[in-house]
Amino acid sequence: MHRWNRLAHAVTHHAGSATAFAALVVLFVAWLAWGVLGGFPRSWSSR
């Protein structure tokens, strides 16, 4: 159980870090750019 608590603490600590936030922002901007360059396809509503 001690190992699980240490893992949970480490994951929580790193998920709330500035590095994790920056990575999320980069992924979000890349996702938006991909949509703009791809013309925002709506394959889920094409029927």
CA distance 39 to 13: 38
pLDDT of residue 34: 85
At 7-47, the pLDDT tens digits run: 999 999 999 999 999 999 999 999 988 887 777 666 666 55
pLDDT of residue 35: 80
- pTM over the 0.75 mark: no
pLDDT of residue 38: 75
Give the contacts of 20 (CB within 8 A, at least 6 positions apart). Answer: 14
User: Is residue 18 classed as helix, strand or coil in its secondary structure?
Assistant: helix
pLDDT of residue 25: 97
pLDDT of residue 8: 94
Report CA torsion sign: 8, 13, 14, 20.
positive
